[in-house]
Amino acid sequence: MSDKNELRGFDLLHDASSNKSTVFSAEERDAFGLRGLLPAAICSQDVQLERILENVRRKSNDIERYVFLSALQDRNERLFYRAVIDNINELLPLVYTPTVGQACKEFAHIFRQTRGFYVTPDDRGHIRANLDNWPEEDVRVVVITDGERILGLGDLGANGMGIPIGKLALYVACAGIDPSQCLPVMLDVGTNNEELRQDPLYLGTNTARLEGKAYDDLVEEFVLAIQDKYPSALIQFEDFLTPNAYRLLNTYRDRVLSFNDDIQGTAAMVLSGIYASTRISGLKFEDLKLMFLGAGSAATGIADLLTKALVEKGLSEQEARQRLWFVDINGLVVGSRDDLAPHNLPYAHDHPPASFIDAIRVLEPNILVGATGAPGTFTEDAVRLMAEINERPGIFALSNPTSRAECTAEQAYEWTSGAAIFASGSPFSPVTLNGVTHHPGQGNNVYIFPGVGLGALASGATRICDEMFLAAAGTLAATVSPTDLANGSIYPPLADIRSVSLAIATTVAEVAHARGLASRPRPDDLEQMILKTMYDPSY
């Protein structure tokens, strides 16, 4: 691999991490053999940014904007990240949810240039050797998916590579991880999506999904290969189907630096929103009763962390779980059912079977949490009933992308006469009702995982523990201002995301040091040390 400091001419202009394009000065053009290769005008990055935004805005739809921004990332990495950081509200929905869902569905059709690392069953016995083909020697964050449960869209096979690519872009933009230290990974073990397998443009392994021991052995080989090649790297598991998600989390959480964002990151994000919601409702956190619609990995992950948070407030584990109720496609999750997965059993209470509406009526929850991937499942009757029971009902419609939300912000506010404390996984525009404008909070994991990762890396953490996610949730909730709450939002503005990630990273690093999980000495000023490590894309 060539030293980037020695790049010249076209090689320099075609290296995404080094290219400044029209910003190269006259002296640099002389020194690096760029004379004649660029237009005469020497611009600032601000001017480049103006040109980029003009071109983004002229595109006719979000997929075209996604493709344009991906091309920018491929040719001028620093300008791409400067654009995202400075225009986070406009560009984050294009780089990640909700647009990334459609981008994954169309991944094989909009494919331009490869990005990331692929592992297939044919690579068995060779994964470690294949990693030597990756051009970077200092990878710190690995995001891996097998594409089986992409957002609320289901099995998208190798098209799911858009998720690790997008998540790592958020690590860079929102927490300042150096892009050279990021590795997106697609565990391409086939797909059971027949429509994809019939698509002549599909780029993945065109077989039914690998399962069982062969699947687990492939993951194990990959994890060991990463440990050997990049021993300090954090592995984030993303968008795995619930049984695999829990099995892999439980297999690796105490062995390597790893976590599952859908289970643990989502849990911390929701816990933070619940903490903040009590500042609006006036209820005590330890007195809350929650009902989950959907009982997959995300929902039960939230409940597991809530249980720990309630125990911290003085409840027993049994008492804590009694405040958390689940409804799935077959109704209320109760002990008499014989169709429950192992992760549901702790929340299968002694209660007669009930439908969703009947469960709300009888149990009177303060907050509804949706994690179904099924749009419209927070029906008008359900939301209106919540408003009858609660002065300020919590309505958390968390499924992504926007098209999969359990209800819209407008519906939640209209059906509760503006009383709802609303949060969603994807962004919704402000809603004006009876002269009052409500600014719905976006419960996006981007508030959590970049800061957790940054804190783990800054402290040299050897493991990710639940206390880190509890601390992250509390720190995030503390950043929500009275103005945010007055506007109806239980999360801080996305424009503050870098400072939020820094605060979470500092808290997570403190936990690592306190728990004996840090491999690096604690500096006198931990926050300043972390701040100095954060990637700045300006040039």
Q: Indicate which residues carry an active-site annotation.
A: 96, 167
Beta bridge partners of 453: none
**Lookup: tokens for 457:** 């890396």
Question: What is the distance between the alpha carbons of residues 31 and 9, in angstroms, rounded to a whole number?
Answer: 10
Which residues contact residue 417 at a Cβ distance below 8 angstroms, ignoring those fewer than 6 apart? 387, 433, 434
Contact 271, 309 (CB under 8 A): yes
Concatenating the DSSP letter of every residue in 316-329 gives -HHHHHTTEEEEET
Question: What is the distance between the alpha carbons of residues 512 and 458, in angstroms, rounded to a whole number?
Answer: 10
Task: Tell me the three state secondary structure of residue 327.
Answer: strand
Q: How far, rounded to the nearest angstrom, does the alpha carbon of residue 153 sit from its chain's CA centroid? A: 15
Contact 527, 535 (CB under 8 A): no
Handedness of CA 202, 445, 296, 238 (dihedral sign): positive
Contact 475, 276 (CB under 8 A): no
Beta bridge partners of 189: none
Closest residue by Cα to residue 131 from 223, 208, 61: 223
Question: What is the distance between the alpha carbons of residues 107 and 186, in angstroms, rounded to a whole number?
Answer: 13
Contact 140, 457 (CB under 8 A): yes
Question: What is the distance between the alpha carbons of residues 158 and 111, in angstroms, rounded to a whole number?
Answer: 12
Closest residue by Cα to residue 135 from 18, 27, 56, 32: 18
Helix axes 212-229, 242-252, angle to 10 degrees: 40
Q: How far, rounded to the nearest angstrom, does the alpha carbon of residue 85 sit from its chain's CA centroid? A: 16
Integer-rounded Cα radius of gyration of the chain: 23
Q: How many CB atoms lie within 10 A of CB 398?
A: 31
Closest residue by Cα to residue 351 from 331, 332, 326, 323: 332
Contact 140, 233 (CB under 8 A): yes
Largest CA distance in the chain: 80
**Lookup: tokens for 81:** 């990240």
Tell me which amino acid residue 318 is. Answer: Q
Question: What is the distance between the alpha carbons of residues 412 and 414, in angstroms, rounded to a whole number?
Answer: 6
